[in-house]
Amino acid sequence: MATSMTTSTLTLPAPAKLNLFLHINEQREDGYHELQTLFQFIDRCDALHFTAISEDAIQISPAIPGVKTKDNLIHKAATLLIPFKKVNTGIQIKLDKVLPMGGGIGGGSSDAATTLVALNQLWLCGLNTQQLSEIGLKLGADVPVFVQGHAAWAEGVGEKLTPAHPTEPWYVVLTPACHVNTGEIFSHQGLTRDTPKLRIALALEGDVKNYQNDCEKIVSELYPEVKLAIESLNQYGSARLTGTGACVFAAFDSKEEAQKVFSKVSIRVKGFIAKGLNVSPLIR
């Protein structure tokens, strides 16, 4: 027998992530790229509010400009859990959007992961973390790390995860006013696709400042706003692109140091200050 639900609202965060480095090792025959990266969360988050409704439907608000409902990762995530739901109600999901789209900090993937975690509970699906991660991978390579909620070394297309414990510095994150097309970057002829693979032990014990983001050169060439952000932040620290961009970040030892730098660079490029976290706010 289906179980009914109360009308209380569950509110959960959907945190951003940074790729502390990103190496593209090769392109596979199926077109996807083998990569190595180190994921870490930051305390900058979207918020999602989940409320049961009597109508057996998935309602999402507000609409995201330029994105059809069926293409919204939140809607896709909810739809994938329908076969497992054990309640006879639908769901209303309200999104408080903070994270920029197309920024390389995983906003859409994180929203999808939070939706999977929330509805697994609210719909009494009974799925474990590994099962949710496998479902999340259908939505995007970054979704599993958000579901699992721990900083991680990643290989494959980003789905092979090993827990990691990098330092948790303060970051200045700049958000150039552009939306980088991930497909455009990964299909670009100039993209480096032959960076030698690192041994995980060497990477986790080493200083990630010695590694790089293989997408950074191409993104900087195609998006002048990103180039400006990197140049601005490089005056005060070691700036790096996250993911395929557009966001750029640099690490600092203290909040005070990060604030001081941000007050200078934010005159040219918008952004924010955030704390690095090895455990996701969603899991906490």
- The answer to whether residue 224 scores a pLDDT higher than 60 is yes
- The answer to whether residue 4 scores a pLDDT higher than 50 is no
Looking at residue 129, its pLDDT comes to: 97
Determine the average pLDDT of the residues in 194-206: 76
Looking at residue 206, its pLDDT comes to: 56
The answer to which of 57-71, 90-104, 251-265 has the lowest mean pLDDT is: 57-71
Domain 9-277 class in CATH: alpha beta
Looking at residue 30, its pLDDT comes to: 81
- The answer to whether residue 5 scores a pLDDT higher than 60 is no
pTM for the model: 0.93
Looking at residue 7, its pLDDT comes to: 60
User: Is 17 in the active site?
Assistant: yes
Q: Can you give the residue ranges of every domain in the chain?
A: 9-277
Determine the average pLDDT of the residues in 35-60: 96
pLDDT: which is higher, 203 or 52: 52
User: Is 253 in the active site?
Assistant: no
Which entry of 46, 85, 111, 142 is annotated as an active-site residue? Answer: 142
What Cα–Cα distance (Å) separates residue 146 from each residue in 16, 109, 133, 160, 211?
9, 8, 9, 13, 23
Residue 112 pLDDT class (50, 70, 90 cuts): very high
What crossing angle do the helices spanning 73-81 and 129-137 adopt, rounded to 10°?
130
Per-residue tokens: 175: 């958000």
Question: pLDDT (tens digit, 9 = 90+) per residue, 151-171?
Answer: 999 999 888 999 999 999 999
Which entry of 17, 46, 76, 214 is annotated as an active-site residue? Answer: 17
Strand 170-174 relative to strand 271-277, pairing: antiparallel
Q: What share of the chain in percent tops pLDDT 90?
A: 80
Q: Which amino acid does the sequence have at 169?
A: P
